Amino acid sequence: MTAELILASRKYVQYHQEKYGYEKPNTIFVQGYIEKLSETGIQSGSLDVLVSNCAMCLCPDKKPVLREAFRVLKEGGELYFSDIYSSKAVPEHLKQDPVLWGEGLSGALYWRDLISLVHEVGFSTPYLLTASHIIVHNSELQKKASGITHTSATYHLFKLPKNRKQSDAVVAYKGTVPDHPDLLKFDMYHCFETDIEVTVDAEMAAVLQHSRFCSDFSIQNSDKPAPSPKCAPQSCHLSNPFLLADNLKLHSKPSTKIGNIGEPVGKYDTTNWDILLSS
């Protein structure tokens, strides 16, 4: 994260404005830390969507990152992000290793801790979209990792109203999301066929009712109250990136590879949040 990168990005603001036909610039670039978005001038409750690509694993303390993301999102707002996750908690001595840290491995969050943290901050359950095993071919890296395995995974989670109705619901997808007229794949475990009614739990009902998907579904809430969403065994199971990566591996989905020390980590970069401002 450097001032030079920000200056280079700003050179293309007018290009994108003209390319997509906006009357005024639709993009801004700011520099700052994702743990301190307030210092960049981003106001509370001002954003619809936050997108991040492999940034959290490079932050020593994940909770402030999630707390700031929660703060700047509107009710119904969404955090859509990819990151690296570990099969168990990374011990402190590995977090001090500069090579493992640079590769994104020693800063990886234990996947179960992600679920606990997002609920503590106030977000919904993390909904898992993709996952793949990270294969470490370098023998020195393998030895340093001390038997801890890693996956890359993409989740989205939502900032829901505190006083929302807690009840299951019958929902039907209207087929109105662009490029998805027949089927909307919400995550790896929720697929909605157009005009087919299905019953969803209270949290999913709230997500569909209050998020950017609200106009794409008809929703009939049940009169029967449901318990507040917690990290139940089922939700933990559905958020497990290692389980999904195992299942996808059976269908020959390629894994992410990390090569020699000093090489880039492939598709991962160390960019800050890409912030999509509300219209």
Q: Is 129 exposed, middle or buried (0-12, 13-18, 19+ CB in 10 A)?
A: middle
Q: 27-36, 151-160, 207-216, 230-239: which range is least confident on average? A: 230-239
Identify the residue with better confidence: 88 or 271: 88
Q: 72-76, 77-81, 94-98, 126-130: which range is least confident on average? A: 94-98
Q: Report the percent of the chain where pLDDT is more than 70.
A: 84
Q: In sequence order, what DSSP letters do the residues of 27-88 get, joined into one string?
A: -------TT-GGGGTPPTT-EEEEEEES-GGG-S-HHHHHHHHHHHEEEEEEEEEEEEEESS
Identify the residue with better confidence: 247 or 77: 77
Q: Model confidence at 157, in pLDDT bands (50, 70, 90)?
A: very high
Tokens representing 149?
């395995």
What is residue 26's predicted lDDT score, i.e. its pLDDT?
86
Q: 121-130, 161-170, 209-218: which range is least confident on average? A: 161-170
CB neighbours of 207 closer than 8 A, spacing ≥ 6? Answer: 124, 127, 158, 160, 213
The string of pLDDT tens digits covering residues 214-273 is: 999 999 987 765 544 444 445 566 789 999 999 887 765 455 555 433 333 333 333 333
| Mean pLDDT of all residues belonging to the chain | 85
Neighbouring C-alpha atoms within 13 Å toward the C-beta of 242: 12
Q: Model confidence at 147, in pLDDT bands (50, 70, 90)?
A: confident
Average pLDDT over residues 94-122: 93
Q: 21-35, 77-91, 114-128, 133-147: which range is least confident on average? A: 133-147
CB neighbours of 45 closer than 8 A, spacing ≥ 6? Answer: 71, 72, 73, 74, 75
Max avg pLDDT among 72-81, 134-143, 249-258: 72-81
Q: Report residue 66 CA to chain centroid gap.
A: 10
What is residue 257's predicted lDDT score, i.e. its pLDDT?
55
What pTM value is reported for the model? Answer: 0.83
- Give 113-163 as a 3 state SS string: HHHHHHHHHCCCCCEEEEEEEEEECCHHHHHHHCCCCEEEEEEEEECCCCC
Q: Is the pLDDT of residue 277 over 50?
A: no
